[in-house]
Copies of this chain bind each other. A is one copy, B any other.
Amino acid sequence: MVEKETMSTDGIVRLSKIEVYPQFLDEYVVFATEVGTISLLTEPGVLTMYAMQDKENPCMITILETYSSQKAYKAHIASEHFQKYKKGTLHMVKNLELCDQTPLNPDNIIKNTIAK
């Protein structure tokens, strides 16, 4: 896993809320898992990429995404793996909300890794 940058003042803490069409859900999960794993492993500025599926509404996916800077975010969306995800899942996504957040406690730090 690549060494991570520290969070800059222009970094991003985001909850991406994705509603997936049910008929594409299994396929979507494969794409989302792949892009999250590659981003975390290879991008110094992708600090977290933690994707969750709602137990009550499995078509609702929430991803906690944090980027060290605007530059890191731009590098992420330009990357080959993100473009593959974006183009591959466009028809699977019913709704997408990008909800930028401010952490309540700036001393509260999350470190996100891939175990294996």
Closest beta carbon of chain B to A35's beta carbon, Å: 11
The smallest C-beta distance from A105 to any residue of chain B, in angstroms, reads 5
Chain A at the B interface: SS class: strand
In contact, A40 and B102 (Cβ under 8 angstroms):
no
By the criterion CB–CB under 8 Å, are A108 and B15 in contact?
A: no
Q: How many residues of A contact B (CB 8 A)?
A: 37
Chain B residues closer than 8 Å to A15, beta-carbon distance: 52, 62
By the criterion CB–CB under 8 Å, are A105 and B37 in contact? yes
**Chain B residues whose CB sits within 8 angstroms of the CB of A101 once the complex forms:** 52-55, 62
| A interface residues with partner B (beta carbon < 8 Å) | 13, 15, 29, 32-33, 36-37, 40, 48-56, 61-62, 64, 99-105, 107-116
Contacts of A36 in B (CB 8 A): 104-105, 108
Residues B108 and A40 in contact, CB atoms below 8 Å apart: yes
Question: Are the C-beta atoms of B112 and A51 separated by less than 8 Å?
Answer: no
In the assembled complex, which residues on chain B have CB atoms less than 8 Å from the CB atom of A48?
110
For the complex with contacts A37-B108, A54-B99, A109-B115, 16 further pairs of A-B residues with Cβ separation under 8 Å are A29-B104, A33-B104, A40-B108, A50-B108, A51-B103, A51-B104, A51-B108, A52-B101, A52-B102, A52-B103, A53-B102, A55-B99, A55-B100, A108-B113, A109-B112, A111-B111
